[in-house]
Structure 1
Amino acid sequence: MTAATDAPVRSRAEQHLRALVGRDDAELYDDQWAAIEALVVDRRRALVVQRTGWGKSAVYFVATLLLREAGSGPTVIISPLLALMRNQIGAAERAGIRAVTINSTNMEQWQETNDAIQRGEVDVLLVSPERLNNPGFRDEVLPRLAATCGLLVIDEAHCISDWGHDFRPDYRRIRTLLAELPDGIPVLATTATANQRVTDDVAEQLSGEALVLRGSLDRESLRLGVVRLTTAEQRLAWLADHLAEQPGSGIVYCLTVAATQQVADYLRSRGHQVAAYSGQTEQTERLALEQALLDGEVKALIATSALGMGFDASLGFVVNLGAPSSPVAYYQQVGRAGRGTTQPASVVLLPAIEDRDIWAYFASLAFPREQLVRETLAALGESGGAMSTPALEARVDLSRNRLETMLKVLDVDGAVRRVKGGWESTGQEWAYDAERYRRVAEAREREQQAMLDYLTTDRCRMWFLRDQLDDPGAGGDWTCGRCDNCGGLDLPADVSPKAVAEAADRLSRPGVPIEPRKLWPTGLSALGVDRSGRIKQPAEEGRAIARLTDLGHGQALRDLFRPSDAVPTTVPVPLVRAVVAMLADWRPEIDAIVMTESMTRGDLVADLTSGLARYLQRPVVGRWAVTNPDVPAGAGATNSAQRVAAVSRRHGLVLDDADALRGRRVLLVDDLVATGWSLTLAADALAAAGAEAVLPLTLAVSA
């Protein structure tokens, strides 16, 4: 198309842009227009890698309006961020775009939405990626959308690539969707966080001669800094002393759910208006908390990475209490601050020694080893039909989440298929790409080292992040002039003794509940275990000193349970004191004690049990004993049904007297709660032997 014929299209595009942003002087960037032209005029595929706040959403909304004027079907946007979806719908409506969404939180509206699409009353449909693997949506709705949509948009496109920091298996189905699109339907993929490897991978999956537009990833509003403090108490104290100094409202990111609750509780006790937010937060409460943050009603949300604010958020700061495992992930999180404003936003990282333990835990959840994949495929092949995920759990030693994730990957690879009622084998040959998984694991290790290097670098911090993202505009001598290393940010590292003392007191309070299990896992009959349904007499709520992921006693417990040739035989004195303090607060009413034998830390459990007997002056009357040592320790540890079967084969109740438990309240002692099934089976056996109540006590809970 010539410049002369091109001009009216750009003029019309900028009219739409002004309606979208509500400003009469708004003009498209050259790269925004290049993307819109590729989509609307040339009907091409394009990948846009641009910083947060650049205006990627303006590209697809303006393109949508132009395509709809030309008679094209609705735009389909695949986006993993529900908060972003809500903000996008609001922005679209202001520009006269009729936008709706289908996701896991609005199931009751799906039929109404489908009907509106059929009537041509929808301009934009936002779809969460998990919908792509729902049988009904995949087989009935998606083919119709693919055939009639005017534009397909893949937001957060780095999730397509398993080289990306935030790979999501549901996104892998997009490759199939792209291959099935009719000719002439343009595709736009957008992300703010893709290095060159991920960019190349996503561009390849878009197929064809995709236009790739990469811009500067510098965020001129951000001032980056690192404050290195020795202890968890000091880091909490820094937040208490300096949170009010941060501009506006913002986010304090934590690596674990437990940390969000601890930190929020402590900061509220110091008079700060904060709230905890994680993937475990109920959906209605999530919406209310997000709005409270946007409205400035809270100073901060103390959140895991589950919090992904939409582009309308204008936050004054982001603080990370603990480092993410890669600079790319970190860049995405700090990008929540300073959007849509020229005002400086503070970005502070408070790293911790225990960060690496948490990285190692999440790394352990990677794609399963080949044997487990083959067992899954064999189970599906032998079934001759659909198997539910719970039924598969009884056959494969994987947790529900890891099993679901693996099945989604196998589904996209063509080896299995999700159907109503579960999963079925396709019978297609499948190859385990061990070399690729090894390279991905090595890439993750390099990213972790790069994050450690970020903490200690004396180079410009924004340059460091841009360089990690392969930003072509980050020359070797470029500096931002805004970070703590460039001299543009002076972060205080001082903490008041009072704040440290209060933080230490808060973190040293031992005692987290051990919630009893109340239902047996499904599929036990297939494993020879005669249990199902509701547990007749579950244990009462128990206590542990802390979670392994906790900020306070968590470090001492992680050290105690860290794999080592020298297995500890006694409970360290600080943890003994913590047990005593926990008992003083808990005050359990018990008559007798039963010890859980351990194949790996037997002396440690025995030391804990004998100490409790002396302190509480109650007799040890029996053991949940290892009666079959041929069943290895940890067998079935990632899968409920498998775990129950393994523990049932390995353990049995041994009492000093057959009537030792009759009508008595029993303290059941163990060292660590991982799945909770060993304690559940022990409590069930104690109840069968006549115990009136069972109260578990352990040193730690794994998560």
Structure 2
Amino acid sequence: MSPIDAATTPAASTTDLRTRATEILRELTGRADADFRDGQFDAIEVLVSDRKRVLVVQRTGWGKSAVYFVAARLIREGFGGSAGPTLIISPLLALMRDQVAAAERAGVHAATINSANVTEWDDVLTALREGRLDVLLISPERLTNPNFRERVLDPLLGATGAGAGVGMIVVDEAHCISDWGHDFRPDYRRIGALLASLPADLPVLATTATANSRVVDDVAAQLGADTAVIRGALSRDSLRLGVAPTASPGHRIGWLVQHLGDFTGSGIIYCLTVSAAEDTTRALKDAGWDVAAYTGRTDAEDRARLEQALKDNSLKALVATSALGMGFDKPDLGFVVHLGAPSSAVAYYQQVGRAGRATESADVLLLPGDEDPDIWEYFATASMPEEEDALTVLGALADSPAPLSVPALEPLVGIKRTKLALLLKTLQVDGAVDRAGSGFVTTGAPWSYDAPRYAAVAEARKREAQAMLDYEAGQMCRMRFLAEALDDPTAHDCGRCDVCTGVWWDATVSADNESGARKVLSGIGVPVDPRGQWPSGMEKVGVQLKGKIPTDERVAEGRAIARLTDLGAGQVLRSFLAEGAEDLPVPKNIADWCVQVLKEWGWDERPSVVVGMPSVTRPTTAGDLASGLATIGRMVDAGSLELTRDPGTPDVNSAFRVKNLAGAFVVSPGTAAAVEGKVVLLVDTEVGSRWAMTVAGRELRRAGATAVLPFALALRG
């Protein structure tokens, strides 16, 4: 669709605007009788005709995306005197995929630039420059990337800040802008400065479903003094809410194993941590349930596949962390269960709002645990920068003659990688550091620790945590409680929750189901899922691999002793494999765990040959592990694969990781002779993205191995 020349387009009346907007809405929904809900056209008119800034606070499923896609198309058609493309800042990849699909239904040509589609960026930018793109979706992290700012943002907005070239800006999930929002993200702080640099008559739409009055006031103030706020009722009458008594993880997972079938349709089981999601998935799979894990460790390609599987009802549930949250759109989602409570009632409302959007009834059950407050405290502490840490990082960067990556900086400052990455993000938004290639440098700008601000946010988090405990206590209607937490003036008793009508679920759990769940939680041996598909866009990085990995070139499901984030064995492995730790043979306690995992591995056919992965950083550990397992298991030691080059860092996206690994592994003639017609145990010290095992295992399969079973000491992430 090409924009109409705004200079030759007469101003449209409200009637003309509404008529055309309704036509676009009907294309978007595919319904000839579709009409706007209360507030939708009001927001569109303020954006398109008045060219003002609007904050929309409406419940999930109300149709916030319809507002910005209809407005985007009207603007492209010349209504309101502008015909530029719309820039949408959106926080999650799942949300972007759904939004691109929705845009196409409305005749809006949309594309996204994010970390998962790097190979497509050039094509997207070409389409943008040539005027073939109506909507560009970006993640807030892009705003802190110098290359993105130079190549995309400055030309789109106009290098002088005049706003030339852009027709509207949309900030989705706008509560993330606010320090007081339940899901504040440092990258969103860039947005306030960005909007302040743009002309007042550039339309800006901010949307959220989860903002109380304090957050609304804060976001509206950052948007501008003249911001119009359109706010609706937030209660969800379709949801049947309940809270079970606090119980142990084994009891709760055992209950799920026994009662997952009591829930209608397919749904989401939310967990507070990656390890909890993966353990719960394993227990449910062992019991025969068709479920899958969806966490921050799940790659973009797998996320898209899993989201579609849930939408198609080919899975009973996704067992997810908050990585599956804002924007995931399955209107007929039948249930949401939480194994562990989020740290605020507002965050809980946001997640349960996934259910019952287009159904008369959906079940929402919270299974809290004693460990919940400790997990809340951990995440709250990790997200708050500490002054001493910040000064240490700034000092290390200032002393370095070259940019430092997160892995390079980690041993210099003694801060764990996840916390360090978040601290660098905060310092970057504050203007104290900036990216330089794959590393960071100091900008030289003065920086001071905003202690009052962080103290106020910490106090707000404590109040939110107490409110969540009050919700669990059940002293008032569950839905009324959540609506009042969002300052909804229409809050009312729902007449459906367990407080209003009594317990609606079967609370029994058999001893066998509970003990089975406890066995999964207490045991060692973590499955390592095989890769089934190559990353998209490989041909654009010069590698001719695409689509599904052929069955005869694919590795089987593998095993690791534990995750590095697990307690117990995970912490022992974390210390032994730490960056900078001495390269030593495998100690006896870890060797005993290896034997136990191998004994309990229910493989179809026992491996008879061991092949080691070549290691650049831990050759002694890797070699000793492979030869030791061969000896203990009475298997042939076929040596290690050979490296043709250093495959580089794993801290890149999937496409570039595979590019760096392709052709890096060689099966020597002696190893090839040993593996031909045999089941191979492919051994490494740790597994992260799984691409190294996938590529190396492919070489062994092509050399004649009938199956390749990956094994590692630890699973990273």
TM-score, length-normalised on structure 2?
0.70
CA contact (8 A) 2:94 2:303 kept: no
Contact 2:144 2:429 in 1 (8 A): no
**Which residue identity lines up with residue 272 of structure 2 in the other structure?**
L
Q: What is residue 60 of structure 2 aligned with on the other side? A: 52
Pick which of 377-386 and 120-129 moved more.
377-386
From 110, 131, 135, the equivalent of 1:124 is 135
Q: CA deviation at 1:86?
A: 1.1
CA separation of 1:287/1:512 partners in 2, compared to 1, >3 Å: closer, same or farther? closer
CA contact (8 A) 2:561 2:597 kept: no
Secondary structure at the aligned position of 2:452 is classed as helix
- Give secondary structure in 2 for the equivalent of 1:253: strand
Match of 1:95 among 106, 127, 144: 106
What is the CA-CA distance between 1:313 and the residue it aligns to?
A: 4.5
Change (3 A) 1:250 1:326: same
Aligned mates of 2:335, 2:60 — CA distance in 1: 15
Q: Show the counterpart of 1:492.
A: 506
The structure-2 alpha-carbon separation of the partners of 1:355 and 1:119, relative to structure 1 and needing over 3 Å to count, comes to same
In the alignment, what sits opposite 1:446?
A: 463
1:171/1:93 CA distance change after superposition, 3 Å:
same
Deviation digits for residues 53-77 of structure 1, max 9, x if unmatched?
A: 0000011011111111114100111
Cα 1:229–1:325 shift into 2, 3 Å: closer
Q: Which consecutive unaligned segments of at least 5 residues does structure 2 have?
A: 1-10, 158-162, 529-558, 572-590, 601-685, 687-710
Q: Distance in 2 between matches of 1:172 and 1:228?
A: 39
In the TM superposition, residue 235 of structure 1 has moved relative to its aligned partner by: 1.1
Pick one of 74, 95, 99 that aligns with 2:85: 74
2: CA distance, partners of 1:584 / 1:239: 28
1:382 shift after superposition: 4.4
Q: CA deviation at 1:580?
A: 10
Q: Distance in 2 between matches of 1:92 and 1:101?
A: 12
Q: Deviations over 1:615-652 (max 9, x none)?
A: xxxxxxxxxxxxxxxxxxxxxxxxxxxxxxxxxxxxxx
Code of the residue aligned with 1:331 in structure 2: it is: Y
**Aligned counterpart, 1:651:** none
The 3-state SS of whatever aligns with 1:30 is: coil
Q: 1:17 aligns with which of 25, 30, 36?
A: 25
Instruction: Please list, as runs of the form range in 1=range in 2, the aligned pairs for 1:481-520 lying within 5 A after superposition.
Output: 481-487=495-501, 490-510=504-524
Q: Does 1:327 align with 2:345?
A: yes
Number of positions where the alignment pairs a residue of Structure 1 with one of Structure 2: 543
Paired with 1:380 and 1:547, the residues of 2 have a C-alpha distance of: 27
Partner of 1:134: 145
* Aligned partner of residue 296 in structure 2, secondary structure: coil
Q: Which residue of 2 aligns with 1:195?
A: 212
Secondary structure in 2 matching 1:323: coil
Paired AA for residue 44 in structure 1: K
Letter in 1 for 2:195: L
Q: Which has the larger radius of gyration?
A: 1
Q: Following the alignment from structure 1 to structure 2, what is the Cα–Cα distance between the partners of residues 384 and 585? A: 46
Q: CA deviation at 1:512?
A: 6.0
Task: Tell whether 2:201 aligns with 1:184.
Answer: yes
Candidates 208, 219, 223, aligned match of 2:236? 219
Q: Name the amino acid aligned to 1:262.
A: D
> In structure 2, how many angstroms separate the alpha carbons of the residues matched to 1:260 and 1:696?
20
Q: How many percent identity over aligned positions?
A: 55
Question: In the TM superposition, what is the alpha-carbon distance from 1:179 to its structure 2 partner?
Answer: 1.9
CA contact (8 A) 2:275 2:566 kept: no
Q: How far did residue 429 of structure 1 move?
A: 2.3
Q: Which residue of 1 aligns with 2:313?
A: 296
Q: Which moved more, 1:257-266 or 1:487-496?
A: 487-496
Letter in 2 for 1:56: K
Retained in 2: the 8 A contact 1:259–1:549? no
Query: What secondary structure sits across from 1:364 in the alignment?
Result: helix
Instruction: Check the 8 A contact 2:242/2:365 in 1, yes or no.
Output: yes
Q: Equivalents in 1 of 2:428, 2:520: separation in Å? A: 47
Which of the numbers 57, 62, 69 marks the counterpart of 2:70? Answer: 62
Task: Give how far 1:387 is off.
Answer: 4.3
Q: Which moved more, 1:416-425 or 1:360-369?
A: 416-425
1:225 to 1:111, Cα distance in 2 relative to 1, 3 A: same
Give the residue type in structure 1 aligned to 2:508.
Answer: D
Amino acid at match of 1:405: L
The aligned counterpart of 2:583 is: none
Q: Distance in 1 between matches of 2:176 and 2:12?
A: 39
Distance 1:196 1:56 in 2: 19
Mapping 1:474-553, distance limit 5 Å: 474=491, 478-487=492-501, 490-510=504-524
**Residues 511, 545 of structure 1: 8 Å contact kept:** no
Instruction: Give me the whole-angstrom Cα distance separating, in 2, the residues matched to 1:411 and 1:545.
Output: 30
Report how far residue 463 of structure 1 moved.
Answer: 0.7
1:278, CA displacement in angstroms?
1.0
Q: Does 1:267 align with 2:284?
A: yes
Of 339, 358, 361, the residue aligned with 2:378 is: 361
Residues 247 and 316 in structure 1, CA contact (< 8 A), matched pair in contact too: yes
Distance 2:195 2:565 in 1: 44
Distance (whole Å) between structure 1 residues aligned to residue 99 and residue 524 of structure 2: 44
Query: 1:654 matched to which residue of 2?
Result: none
- Rate the CA distance shift 1:548–1:105 in 2: closer, same or farther, 3 A: closer
For 2:452, the aligned partner's letter is E
State the alpha-carbon separation in 2 of the partners of residues 128 and 193 from structure 1: 19
| Rounded Cα–Cα distance in structure 2 between residues aligned with 1:60 and 1:377 | 40
Structure 2 counterpart of 1:247 = 264
* Alpha-carbon offset, residue 432 of structure 1: 1.2
The unaligned stretches of length 5 or more in structure 1 are 515-540, 558-578, 589-672, 674-694
Letter in 2 for 1:311: D
Please list the CA deviations of residues 275-310 of structure 1 after superposition, one character each: whole Å capped at 9, or x if unmatched. 122111232222211111110001001111111352
Give the equivalent residue in structure 2 for 1:537.
Answer: none
Give the Cα–Cα distance (whole angstroms) in 1 for the partners of residues 247 and 86 of structure 2: 51
* 1:445-483 Cα deviation digits (max 9, x unpaired): 111111111111231001111111122222xxx201121
Greater shift, 230-239 or 38-47, is seen at 230-239
Shift of 1:415: 2.6
Describe the superposition over 1:494-549 as per-residue Cα deviations: whole angstroms up to 9, x where unpaired: 223332343344444355699xxxxxxxxxxxxxxxxxxxxxxxxxx995799756
Q: Is the 8 A contact 1:20 1:91 kept in 2?
A: yes
Aligned residue number for residue 160 of structure 1: 177
Whether the 8 Å contact between 2:560 and 2:715 is mirrored in structure 1 is: no
Match of 1:64, as an amino acid?
A
**1: CA distance between counterparts of 2:426 and 2:349?**
27
Q: Verify the 8 A CA contact 2:241 2:365 in the aligned structure 1.
A: yes
SS in 2 for 1:198: helix
Pick from 398, 403, 415: which aligns with 2:432? 415
Alignment partners' CA distance in 2, 1:492 and 1:60 = 43
**1:425 is aligned to 2:445:** no
2:388 is paired with a residue whose SS is helix
Quote the Cα distance in structure 2 between the aligned partners of 1:172 and 1:80: 13
Say whether residues 1:6 and 2:14 are aligned partners.
yes
| Residue 26 (structure 1) shift | 1.5
Is 1:397 matched with 2:414?
A: yes
Distance change >3 Å, CA 513–CA 76, structure 1 → 2? closer
Equivalent position amino acid for 2:126 in 1: D
Distance 1:9 1:300, change over 3 A: same
How far apart, CA to CA, are the structure 2 residues paired with 1:542 and 1:273? 22
TM-score, structure 1 normalization? 0.71
Q: Does the C-alpha gap of structure 1 residues 490 and 48 become closer, same or farther in structure 2, counting only changes over 3 Å?
A: same
- Which deviations, in whole Å up to 9, do the C-alpha atoms of 1:648-669 show, x marking residues without a partner? xxxxxxxxxxxxxxxxxxxxxx
Out of 338, 344, 349, the residue aligned to residue 356 of structure 2 is 338
- 1:86 lines up with 2:97 in the alignment: yes
Q: 1:506 to 1:210 in 2, by over 3 A?
A: same
How far apart are the structure 1 equivalents of 2:526 and 2:16?
66
Tell me the amino acid that sits aligned with residue 336 of structure 1: R
- CA–CA separation in structure 2 for the residues paired with 1:400 and 1:501: 35
For the 8 Å contact 1:36–1:63, the answer to whether it is kept is: yes
